[in-house]
A and B are shown apart, each in its own frame.
Chain A
């Protein structure tokens, strides 16, 4: 069969040219693909595939073109020389492309496994970063909370009105809040607490031992009353609570003490007890006075009647006068008792307290030995008129000034001061003397009826009791401060009505 070689020639030449062109184009694209992602194993495969195909295309196409040219130029022998090389290179390229493809499948599986592991690692890494970030955030939040908490508890520690003291198990002070420093007399920052023990502030060392023993045994102690002695001559009645704090890790165990100063409370309790006592005595006195008052009236009446009808016998008249005098004294005492106990409703009116005090002082100066005593007046001009029972208040100041006069004797000073406190709407009137003072043991009894330190016949012991009753009846109070040998200060506290202010 005879056939044309033109189609074979054309397809061979053109096909070879196209093969070379497209193989190089493929190589360029594969190279670009590979360079875009160096780690992409698929790009590597395609690049090697293209290398193989390019090598194949060159060897085969060049061979075919040469073949056509050599055949046309009647030199088939030359082609027969080249042909085995072309065929061998083609075979090599087939093997290369086939090997790359077949081996690549294996590599691909390995690559997939590596990619999977890489993803897992990346995921784990992201998780770690997330956890790390969250951790940082959590740490920041926790730190903030801790700072707030520390601030809060530090504030409690700093502003507490009670003493908070941290000591180690031996009692050595580790920390002390400002109130504690104030109480223990270490308010200056210069005063070091290093090496000082809480024990040394106890008036009674047995109390400290008892506290320590209880804490060791039970881990805590509650409301233990003990006297603290921050310095000589000063005792603070305290209510002590404490608990053992087991130190974290290797930290030392500490004892946290909460110490309340209950001195004021105890004083108030005493005052209340005193008030109750006075009230009871008042009720008793009222009953007795009432019973005595009537017979006394009868005795006085009949005595006066007998005196009136008595003749000129002087001796009998003197006897009757003595009876009348003492009966009157008794009646006055009974009336005082009734005034103290019955607490008659005061007849109040707005008065100038300075005028009242002046009146009393003037009266006392003219009718007793007060002219020998130096009187000092320090009146606050801002004191407004106060609604008081003038008669009763005069009696109060008469009693107080008379007591002061007795205390100073012939040589001394009585100072009367007034001070208006608008913040508390109260007036403070001080009667200060430089007399003998009151002994500590008598301080709690001076308002008791019939209690007196004056010689018999010099006082009834009802003056301060009556004054106390009057002031209390006006809603006020009487306070006393005294130091034996240096004088006393009686302070009358009277409420000032807002209308007057």
Chain B
């Protein structure tokens, strides 16, 4: 009984001390802006893995012998390329701030990089033209779906393995 009272007293003293003498708790981690970039980069990576998995899966089951699935495979490939492209862009500007873009006027920009390397600037410049990869990717998906629709009975899920 005496032990119980003693333990209760200790807990009460600890509570009063912590209540009247507050400090930073570190209970939840705060996030700076860079974490969103990382999350976005991981999302791209996840997209790449899933598209790679789709290509592997289509090829393994022999579905790519059909024209529709062959185009969908190309679509996945272009999406992978697009993801790599956009990851590169995010890597260079948002993630590590290697490239800084300054607007000179309405139709001109100035690119600076921390290594003062023109190759990086040119790479970045062309990498920003990512629609040259994602538009073909979705176009191939469109063509692939059209071909699948042309198949008799819409037998899109025929497993050739």
Interface of A toward B, CB cutoff 8 Å? 1-9, 11-12, 14-16, 18-19, 22-23, 25-26, 29-30, 32-33, 36-37, 40-43, 46, 49-50, 53, 57, 71-72, 84, 87-88, 90-92, 94-95, 97-102, 105, 108, 111-112, 115
Contact = CB atoms under 8 A, between A and B. Distances in A.
Contacts of B47: 94-95, 97-98
B142 A108 contact: no
Given A33-B145, A87-B36, A98-B49, A43 B157 contact: yes
A19 B53 contact: no
B149 A32 contact: yes
Contacts of A90: 40, 43
Contact of A101 (B54, B106, B108, B155): B54
B98 interface: no
Interface string B20-59: 0000000000000000100110011011011101100100
A452 B65 CA distance: 120
B145 A94 contact: no
A215 B43 CA distance: 97
Given A19-B134, A37-B154, A105 B104 contact: no
Given A91-B39, A91-B43, A95-B47, 20 more contacts: A3-B111, A14-B131, A15-B135, A19-B134, A19-B138, A33-B145, A33-B154, A33-B156, A37-B155, A40-B155, A42-B157, A43-B157, A71-B103, A87-B36, A94-B44, A98-B46, A102-B50, A102-B53, A112-B159, A115-B159
Kindly list the 8 A-B residue pairs having the minimum CB-CB distance in the complex, ordered from nearest.
A15-B131, A42-B157, A98-B50, A36-B154, A29-B145, A101-B50, A91-B43, A94-B43
23 contacts: A1-B121, A2-B111, A5-B106, A5-B107, A8-B128, A11-B132, A16-B131, A18-B135, A18-B139, A19-B135, A22-B138, A33-B148, A33-B149, A37-B154, A37-B156, A40-B156, A42-B156, A46-B156, A84-B36, A94-B83, A95-B46, A101-B53, A105-B53
A304 B40 CA distance: 170
B157 A41 contact: yes
B132 A15 contact: yes
B131 A29 contact: no
B108 A23 contact: no
Query: Which of A4, A46, A72, A108 is the most central at the interface, judged by chain B CB atoms within 10 Å of its CB?
Result: A46
Interface in B125-157: 125, 128-132, 134-135, 138-139, 141-142, 145-146, 148-149, 153-157
Nearest to A23: B138
A112 B61 CA distance: 11
A30 B147 CA distance: 11
B139 A22 contact: yes
B110 interface: yes
B97 interface: no
A40 B148 CA distance: 13
Interface residues of B, number: 48
A94 B40 CA distance: 9
A5 B108 contact: yes
Contacts of B139: 18, 22
B118 A1 contact: yes
Interface in B93-116: 103-104, 106-112
Contacts of B103: 71
B115 to A, nearest CB: 13
A64 B37 CA distance: 17
Contact of B104 (A2, A57, A72, A111): A2
A231 to B, nearest CB: 85
Contacts of B155: 37, 40
A4 B108 contact: yes
A40 B43 contact: no
Query: Which of A4, A33, A72 is the most central at the interface, judged by chain B CB atoms within 10 Å of its CB?
Result: A33
Contacts of B141: 22, 26, 49-50, 53
Given A4-B108, A19-B138, A102 B49 contact: yes
Contacts of B44: 94
Query: Which of B36, B103, B156 is the most central at the interface, judged by chain A CB atoms within 10 Å of its CB?
Result: B156
Contacts of B108: 2-5
Contacts of B39: 91
Contacts of A1: 110-112, 118, 121-122
